[in-house]
Structure 1
Amino acid sequence: MKQITVENLAQIFSLKILAGEKHLHKPISQSRVHRPGLEFVGHFEFFPTERIQVLGRKEVTYLHKLSHEERKMRIGNIVHYHPPCFIVTAEEEGLTYLKHHCTEEEIPLLITKKPEATSEFIANLEAYLANVLAPELSIHGVCVNVSGIGILLRGKSGVGKSETAHTLIGRGHRLVADDVVVLKKISPQTILGTHDEKTKEFLALRSIGLLNVVRLYGQKAFQEETRISLDITLTKWEKDDLNNELDHDTQYSEYMGVKIPSIEIQLQPGRDVAGLIEAAVHNWILKKQGYSAAEEFIQRLEEEYKK
């Protein structure tokens, strides 16, 4: 998991610093933010003090309408808990009192460079934080996006993962990561696959060397991250070890507590592995839509038997 500070947020979201310039090193540990409301009227039982506090037009307008003494008390009660920072999405005019409180309590106070919809800002901020603060796991393999579906390709070294990815790129699909795949758990059901920065855009092919897929094939050949939907293991061909059933129970791999449907594809000279992966992806899409080719085939057999 990456470390992120208030200063990082100020740079990424182009926020203006109004107070607490010397305390921008404060770490951010929570992906959710908070809009204080009940806290302004004295209810602190469930106040998430470790979250970023966002003040929109609604909160700022309320504070402006208070008397000097009442406003001092309301804000003083909140800053007493020392949240990591305050971010204002409303007009800067009239915020002198808030600057004073944040300066006294050594809390960074930031503001968007122009007023914007608070709900939209929070959505963007939480999406960014969820990604950056997500639990991570690095695994050996290749990650590609095939027809909009994120795929993990795993297998022993030299089995042909990178070569298969190269063939898929030639068919219009996208590389996400080669050799080291960084998995991020951004929700209880969602794993994102991405690269580790050092290998970004690179694909290593035996006998050829290192390729930069963007330089060779254009930006369409690369994608920063993708939601992992299938885990495909490439294995060597084993005679009499093929599953020829009409259908079989879905197998799963598990990463950080999230189950991902998994299949095994055996390799043999002349076998179109990239084509099989495309078929697996499209079949997975149909299953998600409620269609099963095996069920339809069995139904046809039953109808024929009844004749």
Structure 2
Amino acid sequence: MNTVTVQQLVDRFSLEVLAGKDQLHRTIAKTRVYRPGLEFAGYYDFFSHAHVQILGRKEINYLHKLTEEERNLRIGNVVKYHPPCFVVTRGQEGLKYLKKYCEEEGIPLLRTGEATSKVMPMMDIYLAKELAEEAAIHGVCVNVSGIGILLRGKSGVGKSETAHTLIRRGHRLVADDIVVLKKISPETIIGTHNGKTKEFLALRSIGLINVSRLYGRKAFQDETRIVLDIELTKWQENALNNELELEPKYTEYMDVKIPHIEIQLQPGRDVAGLVEAAANNWYLRQQGYSAAEDFMKRLQSED
């Protein structure tokens, strides 16, 4: 299972460390951050203590208004659950009592000048991606007109060459050779690179190229949501279907079903153009349009 250290959170969001500097190695294993409002009021039945704890103006102002004895009781009851860290937003001051308890319990106390409403969704997204279940597969990942596509096929079938043609047509490379898939929700898979292959595309007879250097920054992006799985295969006579509308097929990645299409290769066939057509057709289907249904309606209207 993936984890994130508090130090990584500090580095990613440029957080100020107020207490627990020697505890930044502590790990975060839960996605989504949590605001302990009811817990400071004494209700702990559903306390998500394993999450990053966000303290906004409501929480801090509430603690400020308590008597010293009651405040110590409230804070003491919360820190004994040992959450991975506390993050105070809006650069709030007067945190001496919080520092005291965090130092005693070995819990990092962090601070940011950003608003709570901005920090929470940003941290949620970051943790969801970093802690997501993931798998690495052999293939190429591209973004075609905003649509994430996984190109698969046997070695040498032409995946990278197809990606290169798509890049020249204004689309974007995400990953070549090794594609890292991350499941960030029960229905969503994100494709990205492994860091080492970032921006690189391997072309037979040419070698490695850096697409950002060669075609500009718009030729590459870090990640994309995968919505189509396209397999490039060798041409087989009489194996192609010519029905008006093919039965939908799917490929499963970490229990998420992705629509699957097979494109057979033959000299002179515009494979990149077919990939573009598949992407645009998928988009139209999401808008409720089916070319086959439209065609059948036209035929019926002539009867």
Query: When the two structures are superposed, what TM-score results if normalisation uses the length of structure 1?
Result: 0.97
| Alpha-carbon shift at residue 110 of structure 1 (Å) | 0.5
Alignment match, 2:125: 127
Q: Which residue of 1 aligns with 2:167?
A: 169
Within the candidate set 262, 272, 275, 1:274 is matched to 272
1:40 maps to what in 2? 40
1:11 corresponds in structure 2 to 11
C-alpha displacement at 1:205, in angstroms? 0.6
More divergent stretch after superposition (83-92 vs 237-246)? 83-92
Cα distance, 1:90 vs. partner?
Answer: 3.6
1:270-300 deviation per Cα after TM superposition (whole angstroms, max 9, x unaligned): 0000001111111111111111111111111
Partner of 1:56: 56
Gaps of 5+ in 2: none
Answer yes or no: is the 8 Å Cα contact 1:55–1:90 preserved in 2: no
| Rounded Cα–Cα distance in structure 1 between residues aligned with 2:15 and 2:115 | 15
Count the aligned residue pairs: 303
Matched, 1:285 2:280: no
Contact in 1 for aligned 2:2/2:29 (Cα 8 Å): no
Q: Distance in 2 between matches of 1:288 and 1:52?
A: 36
Q: Which residue of 2 aligns with 1:108?
A: 108
Deviation string 1:148-168 (CA, Å, 9 cap, x unpaired) is 100000001100000000000
Does the 8 Å CA contact 2:2/2:133 hold for their aligned counterparts? no
RMSD (Å) for aligned C-alpha atoms: 0.9
Alignment partners' CA distance in 1, 2:77 and 2:3: 29
What is residue 82 of structure 1 aligned with on the other side? 82
Once superposed, which parts of structure 1, at least 4 consecutive aligned residues long, lie more than 3 Å away? none
CA contact (8 A) 1:161 1:234 kept: yes
Cα distance in structure 1, aligned partners of 2:3 and 2:29? 8
Partner secondary structure for residue 262 of structure 1: strand
Q: Does the CA-based 8 Å contact 1:181-1:195 persist in structure 2?
A: yes
Which residue of the partner structure matches residue 138 of structure 1?
136
- Distance in 1 (CA, whole Å) between partners of 2:184 and 2:102 is 32
SS at match of 1:158: coil
Q: Report the alpha carbon displacement of residue 93 of structure 1 after superposing the two structures with TM.
A: 2.2
| Residues in 1 aligned to 2:270 and 2:8: alpha-carbon distance in whole angstroms | 46
Query: Cα deviation per residue 1:16-63 (whole Å; 9 max; x = unaligned)?
Result: 111111111000101111101111121111111111111001100000
Distance 2:54 2:70 in 1: 20
User: Deviation per CA, 1:127-154, whole angstroms, max 9, x where unpaired?
Assistant: 1111111111100000000011000000
What corresponds to 2:30 in structure 1?
A: 30
Q: How does 1:146-161 map to 2 (within 5 A)?
A: 146-161=144-159
- What is the rounded CA distance, in whole Å, between the counterparts of 1:228 and 1:42 in structure 2? 44
**Other structure's SS at 2:27 match:** coil
CA offsets 1:85-134 (integer angstroms, 9 cap, x no match)? 1110044421100000101111110101x2x3212110111111111111
Partners of 2:281 and 2:300 in 1: CA distance: 23
Q: How does 1:285-304 map to 2 (within 5 A)?
A: 285-304=283-302
Partner of 1:250: 248
Question: Secondary structure of 1:226's partner?
Answer: strand
Q: Which whole-Å deviations, capped at 9, do the CAs of 1:173-212 have from their partners, x for residues lacking one? A: 0000000000000111110000011111000011111111
Q: CA deviation at 1:11?
A: 1.2
CA distance in 1: counterparts of 2:145 and 2:91, whole angstroms: 44
Question: Which of 193, 199, 202 lines up with 1:204 in the alignment?
Answer: 202
Q: Which residue of 2 aligns with 1:262?
A: 260
Say if 2:53 and 2:87, in contact at 8 Å, map to a contact too: yes
Structure-2 separation of matches of 1:290 and 1:222: 30
Q: How far does residue 266 in structure 1 lie from its aligned partner after superposition?
A: 0.4
Q: Which amino acid aligns with 1:176?
A: V
Q: How many angstroms apart in 2 are the aligned matches of 1:187 and 1:119?
A: 22
What displacement does 1:2 show? 4.7
Extract unaligned runs of 5+ from structure 1.
none
SS in 2 for 1:59: helix
CA distance in structure 2 between the aligned counterparts of 1:38 and 1:93, rounded to whole angstroms = 22
